[in-house]
Structure 1
Amino acid sequence: MADLIPPSGRVHWIGTGLSTGSGLGLVCAETTTVLWGRTVARAESCLARLGLLGQAEPRAYDPDSLTHQLAPGDVVVSMLPADHHPALARIALANSAHLVCSSYVSPGLAAHATAAAERGCVLLTEVGLDPGIDHLLAHHLVDAARGAVGDRPAVAHFGSYCGSNPAVPNAFRYQFSWAPRGVLTALLTPARTIQGGLPRRFARPWEAVDQLTVAGETFETYPNRDSLPFVATYGLPATWRLESFARGTLRLAGWSEAWKPVFAELAEADEARLTALAARLAARYPTTADDHDRVVMSVRLSVHTDDGEDWSGEWTLDATGDAREAATPRLVSVPLACAVLEVVAGRVPPGLHQATDDPEAVRGWLTFLATHGVTATFHGDGEV
């Protein structure tokens, strides 16, 4: 691994959609920031929406323009869809710059991991809400459990669930804000979990709906993507036999019943029908200016050792949007800002990373979040 290319203190934030929230202001306050939008006008509009006019330079984005503006040590922040990240990584690495994004690691982005490490560049991923905050909470639970019971042979149960839903439930138990097609596409993405100690695959995740009680309230959950690689990501000891392990989406009680007609269409939908269905549902159940979102997250771990010792813990987060800002963009952009500032400060080593697994860094990131109004509550054995 090469030495870290010293960060320059200049940040290029790419994307002005609704997920670009108040975290951008935290970055602007500590760095020289360029906000790249589809047009200069869109970048200016985003800055005005966030009360940041004059605090970042608005630019019209295209890959060539970004290439000509990048200098060694600059940080590129992508709020573009995940399929843009491999190309952005190529641009960043070619200019000895670093890249930060909130999305999952794609195979195309992972292909740049070796080059990043060899060139002294950071590729910091999965640092939003989910993935992002959930990773920090999971690492804390595993670290706390290992501190309490060690790596003795044990049976373990792990579950991590998050969802953004209407603060005031409607009959449909959901409202669409942005990327309505993405919501439906996620339901068509096969998922894998561990149940009963064995891997389980679900071609249609909505057929694996379960109930989950969080702080006395009952929700519905379903598995999201492939959970199994995160066993290694979270560093669970090989001596712990996983009875259950799942990462998934959390919905309001009654969601699966309300969505039965949607599931019936999804089962038969081709690309055109999927696009039409998304447009129809978004028009029928939109998020208006009077509506507020509510984000609920639960990350829990329990361990029972073979010699009879038990440990359990759960982190919960429950945040509601208000007239100033929706909860979801705040909970995506604030941890993203924390990650960007960690890179700017030179505290992230070269190479590809999924948030952070360093216990001291996890505590530092959680402190940053709490300082800026993103708080989670711990319930369980021991103290935090």
Structure 2
Amino acid sequence: MKNILLFGAGKSATSLIDYLLTNAPRQKWHLTVADHDLALIKSKIGKSYYATASDLDIKDQDARQQLIRDTDLVISLLPPPLHIFVAKDCIQYKKNLLTASYIDPEVKKLEKEINDAGILFLYEMGLDPGIDHMSAMKLIHSIEKKGGQIFSFKSYCGGLISPDHADNPWQYKVSWNARNIVLAGSSGAVYKEKGKVKEVAYDQLFDHSKTILIPGIGKLAYYPNRDSLTYMEAYELQDLATFMRATLRFPDFCEGWNALVKLGLTDDVKQFETNELTYNNWASQHVDVKDNATEENIAQFLGVSSKSKVIRQLKFLGLFNTEIINLGRQTNAGILQYLVENKLKMEPADKDMVVMVHELEFERRNMATRMHSYMIVQGEDNVHTAMAKTVGLPLGIMAKLLLQEKISLTGLHIPILPEIYNPVLKELEEFDISFEESFE
């Protein structure tokens, strides 16, 4: 019997665990789920004969290494800064590692050791990054195989609340890690447009939001995502005039988040004591007032009307409350994360939605063509979400392919190779995760 070890039982793990346990009897494998929250693990694995719960402090080296030593394959859904603990142990014990997180500089330094160990580290194997890479590369390779020359590539993705459940002024609810939501875009963005490299600072990122029309949904706002240019080489599109990866949100969200950035409430550097600090005083720390700031004070600081949608959004989060925060030492981002998790949480019957769009412009036989490729996935409830489905299933399918020895790839990779994306995308279609294409 093969053994699979999964680190992390959070929001994105639900569909992955379901997939692995559904396949376990036929594939003859056993799943161990390790997390600091034993009750959370048990809620995900139930009473399955093919699963074991492991109450683990990830920094407990002895316990962590024993789990890794005794398994055949490791999957990590830990917060990104914690992957490195698992990665180094996987090298030591020569275990393949799958994760949905971005390749970070620390693991990049381990590339030679990964190669020397003859193992596979497959990063960015979730939704975005993950399905975006696989579906984009399938399109790119198909166009190039037919003799087409690509000159513009734009890719958009967003985890959103379904329009029927967007019942708050933010038009947003949390379907994945709230900390990632709070810190999204904090390093600014870089992309290429019409031959020019564009750099957008964080404090301007949401000012620059534009819109794209999604069939059946309407207009969604987008803002550039991280450093798009790093993927031009990976996609072998170094000479493109336009290359951008972007995040999708409902327009109201971008407008409200821009206000939070201007108020300085997303900073994650400076810590301070919150046990005697009110939400109102916290929210107005950069506003020139002697006492508690009013809605009018903050509206004036932001340059909006006190009756505007933005002020309603801030009020919905509780920024004008005079109650004590009482969260100990925190950063602004830490406090905001707490509010987002509690004020923008999904209710049991809420459904989320994942939207992905690729927009390619290319020329073939002297004919210019614009292609749109759309994917829209709907969640079932606040546990079986579209986000969990699209993050977890690619990992599960890849785990199966590896354990069946259908893929013999080694080294540090992201899923841009046909031997990865063809079988994974094909099986994803069985779960209604597929793309529709249109041409202009």
Where on the TM-score scale, by shorter chain, does this alignment land: which range? 0.7 to 0.9
Per the alignment, residue 344 of structure 1 pairs with 403
* Greater displacement, 285-294 / 333-342: 285-294
Post-superposition Cα deviations, 1:320-367, rounded to whole Å, max 9, x if no partner, equal 111371111111101111121222223041100102322x54221111
* SS in structure 1 of the partner of residue 255 of structure 2: helix
Q: Given residue 308 of structure 1, which amino acid in structure 2 is its aligned partner?
A: N
Per the alignment, residue 424 of structure 2 pairs with 365
CA change 1:356–1:258 in 2 (3 A) is: same
Q: Give the alignment's TM-score, normalised by structure 2.
A: 0.77
Post-superposition Cα deviations, 1:37-65, rounded to whole Å, max 9, x if no partner, equal 215443222212xxx63221111224322
Post-superposition Cα deviations, 1:234-256, rounded to whole Å, max 9, x if no partner, equal 122x5xx4221111110113333
Alpha carbons 1:39, 1:59 under 8 Å: kept: no
CA distance in 2, matches of 1:163, 1:277: 20
CA distance in 1, matches of 2:40, 2:266: 38
CA change 1:79–1:317 in 2 (3 A) is: same
The percentage of aligned residue pairs carrying the same residue is 24
* SS in structure 2 of the partner of residue 288 of structure 1: coil
Per the alignment, residue 222 of structure 2 pairs with 221
Q: Given residue 228 of structure 1, which amino acid in structure 2 is its aligned partner?
A: L
Alpha carbons 1:145, 1:311 under 8 Å: kept: no
Per the alignment, residue 74 of structure 1 pairs with 72
**Counterpart among 10, 29, 43 of residue 3 in structure 2:** 10
Q: Given residue 208 of structure 2, which amino acid in structure 1 is its aligned partner?
A: A
Q: Given residue 356 of structure 1, which amino acid in structure 2 is its aligned partner?
A: I
**Counterpart among 10, 18, 34 of residue 32 in structure 2:** 34
User: Do residues 211 (structure 1) and 211 (structure 2) align?
Assistant: yes
Deviation at 1:270, TM superposition (A): 5.4
Q: Give the alignment's TM-score, normalised by structure 1.
A: 0.87
**Counterpart among 151, 156, 161 of residue 151 in structure 2:** 156
Deviation at 1:100, TM superposition (A): 0.6
* SS in structure 2 of the partner of residue 115 of structure 1: helix
Q: Given residue 210 of structure 2, which amino acid in structure 1 is its aligned partner?
A: D
* SS in structure 2 of the partner of residue 130 of structure 1: coil
* SS in structure 2 of the partner of residue 328 of structure 1: helix
* SS in structure 2 of the partner of residue 261 of structure 1: helix
Per the alignment, residue 236 of structure 2 pairs with 235
CA change 1:71–1:274 in 2 (3 A) is: closer
**Counterpart among 272, 280, 301 of residue 339 in structure 2:** 280
**Counterpart among 259, 264, 276 of residue 262 in structure 2:** 264
Deviation at 1:147, TM superposition (A): 1.7
User: Do residues 334 (structure 1) and 329 (structure 2) align?
Assistant: no
CA distance in 2, matches of 1:310, 1:269: 45
CA distance in 1, matches of 2:225, 2:402: 29
Structure ID, larger Rg: 2
Deviation at 1:140, TM superposition (A): 1.0
- Which ranges in structure 1 are unaligned for 5 or more consecutive residues? 1-7
Deviation at 1:184, TM superposition (A): 2.1
Higher RCO (Cα < 8 Å, 6 or more apart) = 1
**Counterpart among 349, 370, 376 of residue 290 in structure 1:** 349
Post-superposition Cα deviations, 1:251-275, rounded to whole Å, max 9, x if no partner, equal 1133333434323224784542222
Q: Given residue 114 of structure 1, which amino acid in structure 2 is its aligned partner?
A: K
**Counterpart among 160, 163, 166 of residue 165 in structure 1:** 160
CA distance in 2, matches of 1:336, 1:10: 15
Alpha carbons 2:185, 2:226 under 8 Å: kept: no
CA change 1:291–1:110 in 2 (3 A) is: same
Alpha carbons 2:8, 2:33 under 8 Å: kept: yes
Alpha carbons 2:4, 2:72 under 8 Å: kept: yes
* Greater displacement, 107-116 / 34-43: 34-43
* SS in structure 2 of the partner of residue 254 of structure 1: helix
CA distance in 2, matches of 1:123, 1:243: 32
Deviation at 1:178, TM superposition (A): 4.5
CA distance in 2, matches of 1:85, 1:222: 27
CA distance in 2, matches of 1:41, 1:279: 21
- Which ranges in structure 2 are unaligned for 5 or more consecutive residues? 270-330
Per the alignment, residue 44 of structure 1 pairs with 42
Alpha carbons 1:312, 1:380 under 8 Å: kept: yes
CA distance in 1, matches of 2:97, 2:340: 35
Aligned residue pairs total: 363
CA distance in 2, matches of 1:69, 1:280: 35
Deviation at 1:130, TM superposition (A): 0.6
Q: Given residue 378 of structure 2, which amino acid in structure 1 is its aligned partner?
A: T
Q: How does 1:165-204 map to 2 (within 5 A)?
A: 165-167=160-162, 168-169=165-166, 170-204=168-202
Per the alignment, residue 322 of structure 1 pairs with 380
Q: Given residue 128 of structure 2, which amino acid in structure 1 is its aligned partner?
A: D
Post-superposition Cα deviations, 1:19-41, rounded to whole Å, max 9, x if no partner, equal 10222232232322111121544
CA distance in 1, matches of 2:348, 2:99: 28
Alpha carbons 1:75, 1:340 under 8 Å: kept: yes
Deviation at 1:66, TM superposition (A): 3.0
